[in-house]
Amino acid sequence: MNRETLSRAGAVRLLANAPTHGFSAFLDAMAWLRHAPAVHPRGVTFAARLTVDQQIPLIPQGDHLATVRLSKGGGLPGGLPDVLGLALRFHLQEPAEPCDFLFSSAGDGRWSRWLPVPAGDWSATRYGTLAPYESAARAGS
């Protein structure tokens, strides 16, 4: 490779990574300004119990301790609409690691159901996830 090719490759890499670095810098600045995490800065946590009464691929049958956290994505005050977050952590038996599921308020349209959408009512909203979850049975393992 010559010097021109290297500098061209470096420029392409820099441009390709620019959105990631820009977004990361934005979140860092937001966290610094509010002295808290940039997203979902405050939340309410509850202890829970999950009872699985039939075998499912991701979580073994039986009772499992769980933690539930509700938070507002932007940390907006009061009843202002915000992206509502619902985090579920199932504490499975050793040696298994905890199992986390992260959800946020989502739209009900063809495309908006895949996107975080601000909502004002915790119980009347739809929840979706950006994380792809797949069971071992479905993956063919």
**Between 21 and 87, the higher pLDDT residue:** 87
Considering the domain architecture, whether residues 78 and 63 belong to the same structural domain is answered as yes
* Structural domain boundaries, residue 29: 1-37
Mean pLDDT (whole number) for 27-37: 82
**Between 108 and 99, the higher pLDDT residue:** 108
Instruction: Report which of 98, 30, 25 is spatially closest to residue 58, judged by C-alpha positions.
Output: 98
Considering the domain architecture, whether residues 18 and 3 belong to the same structural domain is answered as yes
Q: Per the domain annotation, does 114 fall within a domain?
A: yes
**pLDDT at 5 exceeding the cut of 60:** no
CA atoms within 13 A on the CB side of 96: 12
Considering the domain architecture, whether residues 55 and 110 belong to the same structural domain is answered as yes
When divided into structural domains, the chain yields a total of 2
Confidence of residue 88 (pLDDT cuts 50, 70, 90): very high
Considering the domain architecture, whether residues 85 and 112 belong to the same structural domain is answered as yes
Considering the domain architecture, whether residues 67 and 110 belong to the same structural domain is answered as yes
**pLDDT at 34 exceeding the cut of 70:** yes
Q: Per the domain annotation, does 91 fall within a domain?
A: yes
Considering the domain architecture, whether residues 24 and 1 belong to the same structural domain is answered as yes
SS3 label, residue 121:
coil
- pLDDT at 56 (0 to 100): 72
Mean pLDDT, the chain, integer: 82
Q: Per the domain annotation, does 23 fall within a domain?
A: yes
Considering the domain architecture, whether residues 8 and 59 belong to the same structural domain is answered as no
Q: Per the domain annotation, does 139 fall within a domain?
A: no
**Between 69 and 90, the higher pLDDT residue:** 69
Rounded to two decimals, the pTM is 0.69
